[in-house]
Structure 1
Amino acid sequence: MISSALFSWSSHGVFTFLTVTSIANFDYQKLVKITDYSYVENRKYKEGKYILHDVIEAGNFKIDAEDDVLNDTGIDVINSFVLPTQSREIPVWAIFLVYSSFPDNGMDYVEESFFINALIGSTQANRHGYLKVSFFEYMEGDKSFLHFVRMSREAFKKGDEYWGYRFLAYALHYLEDLMQPYHVRPGTVPELIQFIFDQRIRVMLRNAHSAYDDYMTFLLYKSKNRYDFMQAIKDAQPIVLPVSDEQLIYEAIVYSYSTFFDIHEEVKKAFGKILYERRIKMEDFEQAEREGKLERLYELTKKLASTLASLVKGIVLSNVPM
């Protein structure tokens, strides 16, 4: 189940799964009935990409029972995940596992920012990041999060648990993206100035961004620190901020932004000239770890992931009716 995509914090599904299944007194094993989509959204999606049926029920998505991370949780994926053909029920953990990665399926290749389009071409970045220069905002990741939190609450309010959880899984995806520092700060000021004129800098920044995306996958599946990293996610205590949703996502963005400079420096130290040549591969992470080049990056990332897990747990507890 290892996956990655440009402008995505890789392994959304597994990270969210680990987080929600480690919330104390949260019934993630609960079965909820699959319901048909019956909502009106003031938001456009790429035609054919905003899927409304349940992909597991339709056989379009298979949960990998051999996945190392899923097995390490102790949840019996095969025996606990039985989808009755008549009752159409699905466990809560499966909704978070599957649908927290869904916004990366191409549905957001719409409403692009002219500024971002001019710099990096056609991407879904406009809805998955946040960039503010002076009084001007160039991305809408915060609005994406807020939209799906509102949709989740609307669904729960009318008793539709399936779409309540599914919309919430979508919302968590955007929170996770905004807590990936490259989504809110793509480079230093000198690098961003050079970005416009220098192809090498453009390649380096894109590869640094994708490297940090893929580092999450490496930590969950390949790193010598994988069990320590997963335990940090599980041990994270819920943070419930007494603020509005708008202030919450703003605080998440500010925190993410504050981590950028140290993380970016460590990524450049670890991979150097490779960043100017190609995307970082899993074997590059393995070699850098063997050589001791990832030690500080790991500590910075573990702290960031733990904070993110705490926010995710708090948002779930604040939005799911108990």
Structure 2
Amino acid sequence: MRRLAVASFLLLVVMAFSWSAHETLTYLIVKSALPNANELIQITPYSYEEKRIYNTERLVLDDICGRFVSNFVPAWAKFYPPDPTPIGGRVPVWQVLTVYSVEPDLGMDEGLNLSKLQSIIGNSQGVRHMKYKLLFFDFFEGSESFLYFVEMSREAFRKGDRYWGYRFLARAVHHLEDLSMPYHNAPGRLGDVLESLLWNRNKGMELAYRHFSYDEYLAYLLYLKDEETVKAIVEAQPKRTRNLRELIQRVRLLGLRKLYDVDKMFETVYPGLDKVLSWNDFEASTERLKGLKNITVQIMEEFSCYLKGFLLDFLAQVGEM
């Protein structure tokens, strides 16, 4: 039964969210920031009572290091993290953070009843991965998800369970990465959002295609190892914040402040977008997407500063540094 569950997990990886590139972004940040990134830690079983509910059919709690990247990264990718087989039941810190930074996208939050508003975004997963700001109101639980897994990580480290300390931390990293993306902070410019809600369903689909296409665009830059993007991430210097709430606010502002420019760029280059764009589409539009690339590099550089600062401070607090 355990082997069947892991096999099903890997199949889901191939079929859904397979180009998000969380693992590659996390790998670049962790390897360039953490002094203990190569330290080996012992794999341990899951032994936690959580306050959250999950889709248990999509949640796999066994270790899948060594079987993940080969089933996850698209065939066209030229650059991605290594994924070595555990040695004596031990794996390096960077690998746990890398592999499990993708975990929240693989179905654990799907098919649940989390919010009366989840029908607007189509599923329950978005409830836990987004933090929409419209006018003076915030919707959904993206920032709460980050805080939740930070506390789960802290609990695991208190127990001396370093493997789950880092695995929960990887989930927290995923949610902080999500909060840096413009379309995880608002579905689009206010006028387009109101149009989609009040009278034009097609506009809503176009906004969704822009969202997923921008996720794909970051994956395109990372998987093809765009020199400017990778350099910005690797060379980013840690930035500290006073607390986690300030960290969340600053990361969200990275996306919110660039939302108009990103959305306008998609509207200009891909008017009436009616599909999720692929790397082939981006390759064919390289010259026209220079502005979008510059915006993305700026977001990734600034975000990498904040994530590195958070990781160094948090791991020092829990005795890992």
Query: TM-score when scaled to structure 2?
Result: 0.86
Higher relative contact order (CA 8 A, sep 6+): 1
Per the alignment, residue 305 of structure 1 pairs with 300
1:13 and 2:10 are equivalent in the alignment: no
Alignment of structure 1 residues 154-193 onto 2, 5 Å: 154-193=155-194
User: Residue 313 of structure 1: SS of its match in structure 2?
Assistant: helix
* Partners of 2:217 and 2:177 in 1: CA distance: 14
Alignment of structure 1 residues 17-36 onto 2, 5 Å: 17-23=27-33, 26-36=35-45
Question: Post-superposition shift, 1:134?
Answer: 5.8
Q: Summarize deviations over 1:150-204 as a string: whole Å, max 9, x none.
A: 1111111222111111111000000011111101111111111110221220121
Question: Post-superposition shift, 1:111?
Answer: 3.8
* Partners of 1:125 and 1:4 in 2: CA distance: 18
How many aligned residue pairs are there? 302
Question: Post-superposition shift, 1:123?
Answer: 4.0
User: Residue 137 of structure 1: SS of its match in structure 2?
Assistant: strand
Is the 1:232–1:302 Cα contact (8 Å) retained in structure 2? Answer: yes
- The code of the aligned residue for 2:204 comes to R
1:130 and 2:131 are equivalent in the alignment: yes
Q: Summarize deviations over 1:82-133 as a string: whole Å, max 9, x none.
A: 523xx3101111112210000001111224322231x232241000000244
User: Residue 41 of structure 2: SS of its match in structure 1?
Assistant: strand
Q: Structure 1 pair 60/295, CA: closer, same or farther in 2 (3 Å)?
A: closer
Alignment of structure 1 residues 263-282 onto 2, 5 Å: 263-273=262-272, 275=273, 277-282=274-279
Q: Structure 1 pair 131/60, CA: closer, same or farther in 2 (3 Å)?
A: closer
* Partners of 2:230 and 2:195 in 1: CA distance: 38
- The code of the aligned residue for 1:166 comes to R
* Partners of 1:3 and 1:253 in 2: CA distance: 29
Per the alignment, residue 250 of structure 1 pairs with 249
Query: TM-score when scaled to structure 1?
Result: 0.86
- The code of the aligned residue for 2:65 comes to I
* Partners of 1:174 and 1:184 in 2: CA distance: 12
* Partners of 1:63 and 1:316 in 2: CA distance: 28
* Partners of 1:61 and 1:286 in 2: CA distance: 24
Q: Structure 1 pair 61/300, CA: closer, same or farther in 2 (3 Å)?
A: closer
- The code of the aligned residue for 2:284 comes to Q
Q: Structure 1 pair 136/300, CA: closer, same or farther in 2 (3 Å)?
A: closer
Is the 1:4–1:11 Cα contact (8 Å) retained in structure 2? Answer: no
Is the 2:65–2:95 Cα contact (8 Å) retained in structure 1? Answer: no
Q: Summarize deviations over 1:53-97 as a string: whole Å, max 9, x none.
A: 11237x5764789963247xxxxx47xx3523xx31011111122
Per the alignment, residue 74 of structure 1 pairs with none
Question: Post-superposition shift, 1:5?
Answer: 5.4
* Partners of 1:295 and 1:210 in 2: CA distance: 19
User: Residue 293 of structure 1: SS of its match in structure 2?
Assistant: helix
List runs of 5+ in structure 2 lacking aligned partners: 1-12
Question: Post-superposition shift, 1:147?
Answer: 0.4
* Partners of 2:123 and 2:193 in 1: CA distance: 19
Is the 1:152–1:167 Cα contact (8 Å) retained in structure 2? Answer: yes
Alignment of structure 1 residues 2-81 onto 2, 5 Å: 10-23=20-33, 26-56=35-65, 62=70, 68-70=78-80, 77=82, 81=84
* Partners of 2:26 and 2:15 in 1: CA distance: 15
* Partners of 1:219 and 1:135 in 2: CA distance: 34
Is the 2:247–2:306 Cα contact (8 Å) retained in structure 1? Answer: no
Question: Post-superposition shift, 1:3?
Answer: 7.4
Question: Post-superposition shift, 1:246?
Answer: 2.3
- The code of the aligned residue for 1:26 comes to P
* Partners of 1:34 and 1:122 in 2: CA distance: 33
1:231 and 2:240 are equivalent in the alignment: no
* Partners of 2:60 and 2:311 in 1: CA distance: 23
User: Residue 32 of structure 1: SS of its match in structure 2?
Assistant: strand
Q: Structure 1 pair 200/231, CA: closer, same or farther in 2 (3 Å)?
A: same
